Amino acid sequence: MIEPARAAGAAPFDVAIVGYGPVGATLANQLGQAGWRVAVLEREQRIHPLPRAIHFDGEVMRVFQGIGLGDAVQAVTRPGIKGMHFVNAHDQLLLVRGGTAALGPHGCANNHYFHQPELEAVLRQGVARFPNVTVFEGHDVVGIDESASGHAKLALETGTGAPAGTLRARYVVGCDGARSIVRRVLGSTMEDLGLHQPWLVFDALLRREVALPDYTVQHCDPRRPMTSCNVTGRRRRWEIMLMPGDDPDTIARPEHVWPMLARWIGPQDADLERCVVYTFHSVIAHGWRRARLMIAGDAAHQTPPFLGQGMCAGIRDVANLAWKLDAVLHGRIDDSLLDTYESEREPHARAFIELAVRLGDVIQATDPAVVERRDREFLQGETRIFEFPAPRLGPGWHSGAGVAGTVFPQPRLADGRLLDERVGSRFALFGTPAAMAAAMADPRWQRDDVALLTPAEIGEPLRGWLAGQRAAAALLRPDRYLADRVDGPEALDRLAARLPGTHSQRPDA
Ligand SMILES: Cc1cc2nc3c(=O)[nH]c(=O)nc-3n(C[C@H](O)[C@H](O)[C@H](O)COP(=O)(O)OP(=O)(O)OC[C@H]3O[C@@H](n4cnc5c(N)ncnc54)[C@H](O)[C@@H]3O)c2cc1C
């Protein structure tokens, strides 16, 4: 491994990523794949061994597919096809998050279950493919000096607190978790979205077959709200809300935990992998970027895990950021594009946190009157099924018209390939024969970072989408969000002028 002190003498890195959790590792893959010189700084010597996230969604799987790790990630996950059931103290069904065995809009299952350390190992093996990415494990970032022009300087210490030199980078992305130093240097404030509740998280490895639901159950029992999940293989997770009178210092002891799980399993059935009290938070930062510094993942937002969306939001952050950093580092566009990162992502992340907080209100209710009303309303109104949200990005590098700013599905093309397999991490333009003939003849569309899909190759799903939208053409961004749809040659002409690197820089400008 190169020492940062030696690396410090060399030219600045293009990007320094602080934190090598799932979000930092995904960004390292994205920027490594794009050929940038990247330093990853991680204070720990090895992957965080304790499981936290257990679920991600189809859009996130598509990001892993985009960094060439779809098959490797698939090998350590299982598709979740049965959804999530919210039941009351009498095991009556209140609310269902629908599950399906069919493939979802992203060309894969809608939900995936996994063991976080195994996923992180796959992401790190992915990073090892890129000689242009250097990982400094056991290096704690303790200070950031922004006074120089052209780069930021990171001060480093080893795990034992010994100085470990400095490292320079043109951009710094803090994927450094809930206590982010990069966020502190940015001076971002945190908005409190209302939910802060300690829960006991209990992971067990079954020793033998036990009759347990193979889907997630939210036990909305006011005496002790709990969640039970089938993770992967023999792994099962219980999350148990702490109640008034519980002692957070002792509740994780086996003699307290096993009795709470007695209706499902006992020590004769399973080995306890770990049992830890976490406080679930709902917060979002104001100020995700200033000049060379940015934050992503838990550094920018934290959500209670009732939707399994904390890490997912972080992966979406870096999918949004990676192509913008790439365009800025190439000099195709000025770095004000990076300001659209927060304006687009913040409302999107907020929508998921707010839904998780509302679900938390359903699950965590303990007041008898509130619980009685909740159960009555749900049961009288039939069991409610809620769909997975697909919010629009906030204002930024998309037109905002119609469905622009929402994530685009990943259908198969006429030759059977998935859309992203054909277009890679580029912009993609597809349209009617007339629109594509015009684009093929226009030199502004002939660029390495744009895939032009011919009418013959797009296949029925995309043709149907164009017809349904009455669109002549559509432009997808490298993160697969729809930049704009246009309805004729003049609008297509204006869209060409708005690509990064041409005169105007926003699709709605
Ligand atoms: C009980 C529980 C259940 C969850 N379930 C889900 C779920 O099902 N689905 C889901 O999507 N999310 C879930 N989450 C949330 C998910 O685990 C987190 O959102 C995710 O791990 C955040 O990833 P990250 O890379 O942003 O941060 P982290 O994983 O926290 O990684 C940050 C890294 O930065 C390093 N670091 C910090 N400071 C420095 C520094 N100064 N210098 C160098 N390195 C530094 C840390 O050592 C760490 O390795 C759950 C969380 C919990 C607690």
pLDDT (0 to 100) of residue 227: 95
Whether 185 is in the pocket of ligand 1, judged by its Cβ within 6 Å, is no
Instruction: Confirm if 411 and 309 have CB atoms less than 8 A apart.
Output: no
How far, in Å, CA of 16 to CA of 181, rounded?
Answer: 13
Whether 362 is in the pocket of ligand 1, judged by its Cβ within 6 Å, is no
Of the candidates 13, 51, 50, the one whose C-alpha atom is nearest the C-alpha of residue 32 is: 13
Whether 346 is in the pocket of ligand 1, judged by its Cβ within 6 Å, is no
Structure tokens at 238: 């219980």
Q: SS3 breakdown of the chain: % helix, strand, coil, rounded to 5?
A: 35, 30, 40
Whether 24 is in the pocket of ligand 1, judged by its Cβ within 6 Å, is yes
The sheet with strand 450-452 has its strands ordered as: 450-452, 427-431, 473-476, 482-486
Task: Give the residue carrying structure tokens 């005169």.
Answer: 503
CA of 271 to the centre of ligand 1 (A): 25
CA of 152 to the centre of ligand 1 (A): 24
- Alpha-carbon distances, residue 269 vs 202, 205, 263, 430 (angstroms): 14, 9, 12, 55
* Half-sphere CA count of 78, side-chain side, radius 13 A: 13
Reported for 350-355, long-range contacts at CB under 8 A and 24+ positions apart, including other chains, are 350/193, 350/284, 350/301, 351/389, 351/391, 352/303, 352/307, 352/309, 352/312, 352/313, 352/389, 352/391, 353/193, 353/282, 353/284, 353/301, 353/302, 353/303, 353/313, 354/193, 355/307, 355/389
Parts of the chain belonging to CATH 3.40.30: 397-509
pLDDT (0 to 100) of residue 383: 65
Whether 304 is in the pocket of ligand 1, judged by its Cβ within 6 Å, is no
pLDDT (0 to 100) of residue 214: 87
pLDDT (0 to 100) of residue 503: 41
Instruction: Confirm if 355 and 305 have CB atoms less than 8 A apart.
Output: no
CATH H-level superfamily of 4-78+111-189+283-343: FAD/NAD(P)-binding domain (3.50.50.60)
Q: What is the number of residues in the chain? A: 509
List, in order, residues 6 or more apart from 28 with CB less than 8 Å away: 17, 20, 38, 40, 127, 130, 133, 135
pLDDT (0 to 100) of residue 506: 43
CA of 177 to the centre of ligand 1 (A): 5
pLDDT (0 to 100) of residue 381: 81
Residue nearest to atom 14 of ligand 1 (CA): 53
pTM recorded for the entire structure: 0.95
Please provide the CATH number assigned to the domain covering 397-509: 3.40.30
Whether 19 is in the pocket of ligand 1, judged by its Cβ within 6 Å, is yes
Mutate to test the pocket of ligand 1, among 298, 307, 388 (most ligand atoms within 8 A of CB): 298
pLDDT (0 to 100) of residue 175: 98
pLDDT (0 to 100) of residue 186: 97
How far, in Å, CA of 119 to CA of 109, rounded?
Answer: 17
Atom of ligand 1 nearest to the CA of 60: 11
Parts of the chain belonging to CATH 3.50.50.60: 4-78+111-189+283-343
CA of 432 to the centre of ligand 1 (A): 44
Whether 4 is in the pocket of ligand 1, judged by its Cβ within 6 Å, is no
Whether 349 is in the pocket of ligand 1, judged by its Cβ within 6 Å, is no
pLDDT (0 to 100) of residue 438: 96
113 forms beta bridges with 55, 78
- For 275, the 3-state DSSP assignment is strand
| Blockwise average pLDDT, block size 10, the chain, 509 residues | 51 96 98 98 92 94 98 95 90 86 92 95 98 97 94 94 94 98 97 93 94 92 95 94 94 93 94 91 97 98 94 98 96 94 98 93 93 91 76 96 95 97 96 96 94 95 96 97 94 91 47
Whether 39 is in the pocket of ligand 1, judged by its Cβ within 6 Å, is no
pLDDT (0 to 100) of residue 250: 94
pLDDT (0 to 100) of residue 309: 95
pLDDT (0 to 100) of residue 303: 96
